[in-house]
Each structure stands twice: as structure tokens, then as C-alpha cells.
């Protein structure tokens, strides 16, 4: 497996890289990463390389540190004041914790979708336009275009195109979640982090979001936390199994589910615990 250091990454270059090449590229390199909330350690020596333009699933029992891990990838975990960390995470070849690294830049390149849909109490249009606006794009025509493109990208356009000015809180849960995905797409990130994006949704809405994830994969690298093992098996290329803050196994999804190497992985995926 390649590490970030090995490859020559041109950071802002075209996201849609050569189709053949992307399989081997690494977008995130996590190296001996430890994290504490106050005195409680939540992540132990996490080491893994997240591939570019693939879907990486994170599975594991409740409280094993999945959310903590995924929030470390865009440094959202730092919103908790007591957090302490060591080890390194590099994104596109740069250590995201190095001094001088701009966290706003990281979060512009790496989008995030949360467990519960969290649209702003603004109109549908304003929700999607939020990202471009804070990054200085003000022209109405450009914004219109971005909003349409993002909503189409999130497979929501047809449902909302006639009521863009209505408040987003009027949408159904599934629609709200796709709106949050559209909001995230609007600034064209390279990576999308998703923390159990379907756990608050019904099966039909879940299917829609899963479909969406599949279609997004060709343009984006996706990291998705899920409780649902079928979901991980259905949509991901690689899967990491977390247990008590450690990565037990990180493998191609087919392999991990059909032929796990570690006993604990096997126990978990066969439902013997967790």
C-alpha cells in the first residue's frame, strides 16, 4: 500500500484523477495516532491509510471510537476542549496538526455529514449557498448554478426545485440529510466524512442515501461510519473494524466480511457480540 509521502500529490489538481491510477493512491495517512478526552484514552495507536476515491467504512460496537476517529480527520474533535492527541494524521501529504496548517482549509477540502441531519434554520437555497458564501463567492448567478448542481448531485433537485426559498426544517428527515450532503458538495470537497448518515432515516431514505454514496464515489473519497454491517458490505471498498479505540482489522470489504483474519472481527460480524 502506498503512503502519502510516496506519491506526488498535486493538491488542488483535478479531483477526477485517472480512473486506473486512483486505486493505489492514499488520501489520508494515519500514523500511531492516540487521543484522550481528559484522562480517558479513546483512540489507541491507530495506524491506517485511507485510499482516494473509494468508500472506506468504519464499523465497530458503540463507544469504540468511530466518531472520535472520523472527527479527528477534519479536526472537529478539537471542539471538545479537553482533547489531547499525539501521533500524526497527514492529509494529501501534509500533517494536519503541524503548526501553520490552516484548519479552515482542511475543512474546506474535507466535507462532513453528521449522524442527525443538521440543516441551518434558513431556506433550502441558503443552506446550500452557505459554504460558497463563506468562502467569498457572492455572485448570484454563480451561486444559483452551484446550488442547482449540488442539489442535483445529492439527488434532491427534483424534489425541492420549486421551493428553494422555503425553510429547510420543512423537509423530511431523509430530504434534510440529502440537503446536508448537498451543502457539503457545494464547496466541492475532495473527501466526504459521514458519521452514521443513515441511522436517523427510514429504510427508503437510507436506500437513497446509499445509492447516492455509490454515485459520489467516482468524484470523492468517502469515509463512512456505520453501525449497519450490511450497509458497510454493500457500499464500501475497504472496511476498518474498531474495537475499544483500536483498529483490529483494516481490509478490503469482501475479504473482511468473508474471511476475517482476527477472531474478534469474526465474532463481531457474525453477531456474537457488539
Partner 1 sequence: MEVNVKNMIKQKETNRFFLRFTEKAAPVFFLLCAAISVLTTIGIILTLLVETTAFFSRVSFWEFISGTEWWPFGENPTYGVLPLIAGTMLITAIAMMVALPIGLASAIFLSEFASEQTRKIVKPVLEVLAGIPTIVYGFFALTFVTPVLNTFIQDLPVFNALSPGIVVGVMVIPMVASLSEDALRSVPNSMREAALAMGSTRLEVAMKVVLPAALSGIIASFVLGISRAIGETMIVAVAAGSTPKLTWDVTESIQTMTGYIVQVSLGDASYGSTAYYSIYAVGMTLFIFTFMMNILSQYISRRFKEDY
Partner 2 sequence: MNLVDKQTVQSSMTKRLVKNRLANSLFFLAAAFGIVVLAILLYRIYSEGMGYLDWNFLTSFASRFPEEAGIKAAIVGSLWLMAVTAPVSLLLGVGTAIYLEEYAKENKVTRFIRMNISNLAGVPSVVFGLLGLTVFVRLMEMGRSIMAGGLTMSLLILPIIVVSSQEAIRAIPKEQYEASFAMGATRWQTVLRVVLPAAIPGILTGGILALSRAIGETAPLLMIGALSFIAYLPENVWSGFTVLPIQIFNWTGRPQEEFHLVASSGIIVLLIVLLLMNSIAVLIRNKFSK
Does the footprint of partner 1 cover residue 108 (CB under 8 A)? yes
Does the footprint of Mg ion cover residue 67 (CB under 5 A)? yes
C-beta of 133 vs 264, nearer to partner 2: 133
Interface with partner 1 (CB under 8 A), residue from 149, 152, 217, 227: 149
C-beta of 63 vs 170, nearer to ligand ATP: 63
Interface with ligand ATP (CB under 6 A), residue from 53, 68, 176, 236: 68
Does the footprint of ligand ATP cover residue 64 (CB under 6 A)? yes
Does the footprint of partner 1 cover residue 84 (CB under 8 A)? no
Q: Cell for 224?
A: 463512512
C-beta of 181 vs 256, nearer to partner 2: 181
| DSSP β-ladder status, 238-243 and 246-252 | antiparallel
For the chain, state the CA radius of gyration: 18
Reference 156, options 104, 117, 112, 196; nearest CA is 117
Dump strand ranges (E) for the chain. 26-37, 40-51, 55-59, 83-91, 94-95, 110-113, 191-195, 221-225, 238-243, 246-252
Q: At what angle do helices 203-216 and 173-185 cross, to 10 degrees?
A: 20
Using CB atoms within 10 A of its CB, is residue 45 exposed (0-12), middle (13-18) or buried (19+)?
A: middle
Q: Which does 121 bind (CB under 5 to 8 A by kind): partner 2, ligand ATP, partner 1, none?
A: partner 2
* Interface contacts to partner 1, rule CB under 8 A: 12, 15, 105, 108, 132, 135-137, 142, 145-146, 149, 186-188
Q: Interface with ligand ATP by CB under 6 A: which residues?
A: 37, 40, 42, 60, 62-68, 80
Amino acid at each position: 500500500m502506498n503512503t502519502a509521502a510516496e506519491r506526488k500529490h498535486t493538491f488542488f489538481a483535478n479531483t477526477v484523477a485517472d480512473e486506473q491510477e486512483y486505486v493505489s493512491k492514499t488520501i489520508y495517512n494515519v500514523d500511531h495516532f492516540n487521543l484522550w478526552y481528559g484522562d480517558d484514552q479513546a483512540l489507541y495507536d491507530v495506524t491506517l491509510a485511507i485510499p482516494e476515491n473509494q468508500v472506506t467504512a468504519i464499523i465497530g460496537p458503540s463507544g469504540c471510537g468511530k466518531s472520535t476517529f472520523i472527527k479527528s480527520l477534519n479536526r472537529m474533535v478539537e471542539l471538545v476542549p479537553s482533547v489531547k492527541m499525539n501521533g500524526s494524521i497527514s492529509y494529501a501529504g501534509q500533517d494536519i496538526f503541524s503548526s501553520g496548517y490552516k484548519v479552515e482549509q482542511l475543512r474546506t477540502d474535507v466535507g462532513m455529514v453528521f449522524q442527525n441531519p443538521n440543516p441551518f434554520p434558513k431556506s433550502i437555497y441558503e443552506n446550500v449557498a452557505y459554504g460558497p458564501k463563506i468562502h467569498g463567492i457572492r455572485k448570484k448567478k454563480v451561486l444559483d448554478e452551484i446550488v442547482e448542481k449540488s442539489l442535483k448531485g445529492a439527488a434532491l433537485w427534483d424534489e425541492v426545485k420549486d421551493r428553494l426559498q422555503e425553510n429547510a426544517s420543512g423537509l423530511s428527515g431523509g430530504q434534510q440529510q440529502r440537503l446536508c450532503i448537498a451543502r457539503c458538495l457545494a464547496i466541492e470537497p475532495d473527501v466526504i466524512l459521514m458519521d452514521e448518515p443513515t441511522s436517523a432515516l427510514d429504510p427508503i431514505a437510507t436506500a437513497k442515501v446509499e445509492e447516492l454514496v455509490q454515485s459520489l464515489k467516482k468524484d470523492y473519497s468517502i469515509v463512512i461510519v456505520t453501525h449497519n454491517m450490511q450497509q458497510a458490505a454493500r457500499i464500501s471498498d475497504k472496511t476498518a473494524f474498531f474495537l475499544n479505540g483500536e483498529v483490529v482489522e483494516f481490509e478490503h470489504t469482501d475479504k473482511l466480511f468473508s474471511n476475517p483474519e482476527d477472531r474478534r472481527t469474526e465474532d463481531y460480524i457474525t453477531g456474537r457480540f457488539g
